[in-house]
Chains A and B, each alone.
Chain A
Amino acid sequence: MGSINWTDVLKGATAFFLVMAGIGTVYVCVRLGGLLARMAKTVGAMTDEVVPILTRAQTTVDGINLELVRVDDIMVTAVNATKGAEKTVSSISGAVTAPVRKASGLAAMAKEAFATFRTRRVAGPDEAEQAAAASVASHVHVEDVATEPSPEARAADEFRAAAGAAGERFRAAVADHKARADATVPATVVAPAPPPLREDPFAKHVAAPTDAPALDAQTVDSDEHTQEFPVTAGGGARRRGPSLSQISWALPKRSVR
């Protein structure tokens, strides 16, 4: 027995390892080959089964599209039918309501015309015009128009009446004062020339009664309430309308609301 050559041992071990690795590789390749064969078989079978399914699905989708087209046509037809029905209903409604509308208007016209004619015949033209005005006001929907005069108009009427009464009292007081002045003034005194007539302060508010005594300048100016204003240029005093006390005396005492 000689000495062991370790190089030969290493070579032998390497050769054994390579043989074993080759065997393993071959085994793995054989198994992979089988697996790939089965996979190819499975893919082939799947392809054979899926393609007809896809074909049938495409056929179904085509049929569905065809049905959708038909449904679309049906919907268009239904919409057209609805429009036609709407037009028909509108036409029928117009054909029915127009005569009814006219008949209703004619009935209201006959009723109102007869009532107006009868009112005018019975009441006379003046009252009938008021009734016609009220009728017009009711037909233009002015329902809030009061039959009584407005507060402003009522206040104006009251003011005119009070001004008329105050004017009467004013004229009576002036006449009385004139009578007393005539009684006290001696006949030998020559009265100065009367100034121009002054406007009646109440004439613009009320119509002067026909039997009321006319105001003359002398009677008005002889009143003790007439206010005098000094005049610088002419030297003397000139008179200007009734004074404030005269006005406040003549006007009625109005109560505060």
Chain B
Amino acid sequence: MKRILKVVLAAAGLVSGWLYSRGVTNPKDWPKRLPKEISALWDDLDEAMAAGRRAASEREREFDREIGRRPPTEHD
């Protein structure tokens, strides 16, 4: 039970610190801002993943150009 309590307190502390770092210094605003921050976080993660996929495809094309190899197709 104590362990669960510690984990919950640690999570709450982390969330509070994260919200504070995001500029929400007033604890009264935390319940309102937490869903927005989580949504923004997921949006940022989605954007980062999309940018990463674009960079990966571009790097793979450059790699194929460097070794003079045609890009693999579905038949390969």
Contacts and interface: CB of A to CB of B under 8 A. Distances in A.
Interface of A: 93-94, 97-98, 100-102, 104-117, 120-121, 125, 128, 132, 135-136, 139
B47 A108 contact: no
A109 B53 contact: yes
Nearest to A129: B47
A49 B36 CA distance: 113
Most interface-central of B49, B59, B72 (chain A CB within 10 A): B59
Nearest to A121: B44
Q: Interface residues of B: mostly helix, strand, loop or mixed? A: helix
Nearest to B64: A101
B17 interface: no
A149 B48 CA distance: 27
Contact of A105 (B47, B51, B59, B72): B59
Interface string B23-44: 0000000000000000010011
Contacts of B53: 109
Given A97-B69, A101-B64, A109-B53, A120 B48 contact: yes
A67 to B, nearest CB: 41
B1 interface: no
A112 B47 contact: no
9 contacts: A108-B52, A109-B52, A109-B55, A114-B48, A116-B48, A117-B44, A117-B45, A125-B44, A135-B55
